Amino acid sequence: MDLNTKGKAEHTYDAIVVGSGISGGWAAKELCEKGLKTIVLERGHKLEHIVDYKTANSAPWELQWQNTPSRELIAQQEKQNRTGYTVRPASSYLFVDDQDHPYEEKQRFDWMRGYHTGGRSLMWGRQSYRLSPMDMESNAKEGISIPWPIKYADLAPWYDYVETFAGISGANDGLEQLPDGVFQPPMAMTPPELELKAGVEKKWKGRKVVNARVAHLTKPTAEQTALGRSSCMYRNLCIRGCPFGAYFSSQSATLKAAANTGNLTLRPHSIVHSVIYDDKAGKATGVRIIDEVTMETTEFYAKIIFLNASAVASTSILLNSKSDRFPNGMDESGSLGGYLMDHHLGVGANGYMETNLDKVQFGRRPGGFYIPRYRNFSEETGKAKYLRGFGYQGAGFRQGWSRGIEGFGADFKKELTSFGPWGISMGGFGECLPYENNRISLSPDKTDKWGLPLVVADASFKENEYAMREDMMNDAAEMLEAIGAKGINTFKQEPSIGMGIHEMGTARMGSSSKESVLNANNQVWGAENVFCTDGAAMTSAGCQNPSLTYMALTARAADFAISEMKKGNI
């Protein structure tokens, strides 16, 4: 009896956070800093800041075939390789092994994941944009799906808060569709980007070309340097982990701040299976985990639980959490698992510019330019045949030896050591509407090696997204044409859900338990001490990269959770 009591006490914390990626890192920091003894349960292995970034300083010749994947590696990580750039000798160790981590695709679904401390905060592209008031109101205005239960004004102070701590380089551009924020100095635009900005803004009222906003330090604050972070060195090797802590990751920033409080316990190899719900008390008491290595099942207990395992994984945990009150998982609306969204991409144009040939860029800037949404936005930019819109990410860069020069002899050698023209390219990121039948569910009969039911994905882009893609391709070419770019080449690949690596919406926020899984403070309806603040919570997608919004939602919900705890409400 004594032993059991001790065992339970050892497994009891004030707060449990599931997952240590972008949103879990934030939950850990906020809860620890507010004095809660917090355990972060992370399914993957421990990956230490700096020392475990094993290829961060490797030269091309130190990597197999100059960083080209072998057939064996591709076979092992077939799904993770679908992007064409993630499974490389330098970065493949940060992506899951698809043989160990299978899922079912009723329709193609590219589920790109990293199971280790820090999750995808280590591999993300760091593009960081706020949603705008328009983005959070369009569901309500257009009668699509359900309205967000919160407005931009509710999130704005939390965007300020997370930007200040994370460090976002960018400029305040004064645009309604891309709200300004708390930024460190932007990275300079290259000559063709400046030409694009001047040409596009002159020709089209309402179209803007701005500096990419990226989570890189360009003028670190005292708080950031105290965490051991320093300015970006412009190496653009970020997908291998940053030894300077210059881009925002859980390791470089949030987990470190959480650990500094003395309140953090990080438990790797802890696969959360489900939330334990006490039907009598009407609240959750903890979570069940399976140890990744020993396969042992155990339980952890806490007053509050934050689910931050990423959209699909948190939704799987909720689906798996069955009790008398929730016989089909923690939801009474039927929306859990539905409304899966992602951004559709792989469409745009590129070309080259023969102006400014007396200039070259310095360093390898890990950013570029951004063209915020202009379709269906104002009178000037016109109404399209589809709902919502898209933004572009792009870059203009001086082409070097790798520009595919052919030939031999002295002339060939000379060309190899000279610069070519400026290349310029842009790719669209389009908003996807929330569709009820874009779903993930759990397999009734297939499990992985830890006995967890496999995720089954059944989702696709629809007419609205396909119609938008026409403009995404043609507008890109039209803008390059307008500035005199040569060799313009358009591209429009078949889009698939997951390829945007922005899964969202499968446990959405709403105003009633009849139509949503989470309320306006990210609490699970009926289990108000369980919070979910990753992409699952998104009621609509906008067209901006979403991780900054998960950070803001998480910091806001953690603040709310603490105040509710103090009031004795949870």
Ligand X SMILES: Cc1cc2nc3c(=O)[nH]c(=O)nc-3n(C[C@H](O)[C@H](O)[C@H](O)COP(=O)(O)OP(=O)(O)OC[C@H]3O[C@@H](n4cnc5c(N)ncnc54)[C@H](O)[C@@H]3O)c2cc1C
Cα 70 to Cα 119: distance, rounded to the nearest angstrom:
24
Stretch that binds ligand X, among 29-37, 74-82, 216-224, 302-310 (CB under 6 A): 302-310
| Residue 183 or 386 having the CB closest to ligand X | 183
Question: In the bound complex, what is the minimum distance in angstroms from residue 176's beta carbon to ligand X?
Answer: 21
Helices (H), 304-360: 311-320
Is 558 a binding residue for ligand SF4 by CB under 6 A? The answer is no
d(CA 73, CA 79): 11
**In angstroms, rounded to a whole number, what is the distance separating the alpha carbons of residues 321 and 142?**
34
For the bound state, the minimum distance from the C-beta of residue 114 to ligand X, rounded and expressed in Å, comes to: 6
Q: Which of ligand SF4, ligand X, none is residue 454 near (CB under 5 to 8 Å by kind)?
A: none
Longest Cα–Cα distance in the chain: 85
308 binds, among ligand SF4, ligand X, none (CB under 5 to 8 A by kind): ligand X
Which helix (DSSP H) or strand (DSSP E) does residue 133 occupy? helix 133-142
DSSP state of 191: H
Binder of ligand X out of 245, 268, 535, 542 (CB under 6 A): 535
Chain position carrying tokens 């990293």 = 114
> Mask of contacts with ligand X, 269-298, x by CB under 6 A?
-xxx--------------------------
Is residue 42 within the footprint of ligand X (CB under 6 A)? Answer: yes
User: How many whole angstroms from its chain centre is CA 400?
Assistant: 31
- Two structure tokens written together for 551: 């950070």
The Cα-based distances of 246 to 216, 252, 397, 405, 414 in angstroms read 6, 8, 22, 35, 36
Touching ligand X, residues 488-527 (CB under 6 A): 501-502
Alpha-carbon torsion angle 326, 286, 27, 503, nearest 10:
-40
Tokens 């067209």 belong to residue: 543
Which of 240, 136, 253, 169 is CA-nearest to residue 544? 136
Can you tell me the distance from the alpha carbon of 27 to that of 15, in angstroms, rounded to the nearest whole number?
10
Contact with ligand X (CB under 6 A) among 16, 17, 24, 147:
24
User: Quick one: which of 550, 555, 558, 561 contacts ligand X (CB under 6 A)?
Assistant: 550
| Residue 43 CA to its chain's centroid (Å) | 18
Q: Tell me the per-residue interface mask from 339 to 378 with ligand SF4, x by CB under 6 A, - otherwise.
A: ---------------------------x------------
**DSSP SS3 for 549:** helix
In the complex, the smallest distance separating the C-beta of residue 129 from ligand X, rounded to whole angstroms, is: 8
Candidate residues 15, 16, 20, 556; the one interacting with ligand X per rule CB under 6 A: 20
Site map for ligand X, 253-272, x if CB under 6 A?
Answer: -----------------xxx
Under the criterion CB under 6 A, does residue 457 sit at the interface with ligand X? Answer: no
Q: Choosing among ligand X, ligand SF4, none, which partner's interface includes residue 234 (Cβ < 5 to 8 Å by kind)?
A: ligand SF4
Alpha-carbon span 161 to 549, nearest angstrom: 12
Find the binder of ligand X among 53, 109, 124, 326 (CB under 6 A).
124
CB of residue 218 vs ligand SF4: minimum separation in angstroms? Answer: 10
Q: How far is CA 32 from CA 47, 111, 557, 564, in A?
A: 20, 31, 14, 16
Cα(469)–Cα(501) distance, rounded to whole angstroms?
Answer: 18
Q: How far is the CB of 34 from ligand X (least distance, A)?
A: 19
Please give the single-letter amino acid code of residue 450: W
User: Smallest distance from the beta carbon of 234 to ligand SF4, in angstroms?
Assistant: 5
Structural Rg of the chain based on CA atoms? 24
Beta carbon nearer to ligand X, 125 or 423:
125
Task: Please provide residue 395's backbone torsions phi and psi, each rounded to the nearest 5 degrees.
Answer: -155, 150
Our CB check for ligand SF4 shows the closer of 88 and 273 to be: 88
- Window 198-257: residues binding ligand SF4 (CB under 6 A): 216, 232-238, 242, 244, 246-247
Q: Is 187 in the site for ligand SF4 (CB under 6 A)?
A: no
C-alpha dihedral, 523 to 528 to 529 to 535, nearest 10°: -20
CB atoms within 10 A of CB 568: 6
Find which of ligand X, ligand SF4, none residue 101 binds, CB within 5 to 8 Å per kind.
none
CB of 500 to ligand X, least distance (A): 8
158 binds ligand X (CB under 6 A): no
Does 112 sit near ligand X (CB under 6 A)?
Answer: yes
Which residues form the interface with ligand X (CB under 6 A)? 18-24, 41-44, 86, 112, 115, 119-121, 123-127, 270-272, 308-310, 313, 317, 501-502, 534-535, 545-547, 550
Which residues form the interface with ligand SF4 (CB under 6 A)? 216, 232-238, 242, 244, 246-247, 366
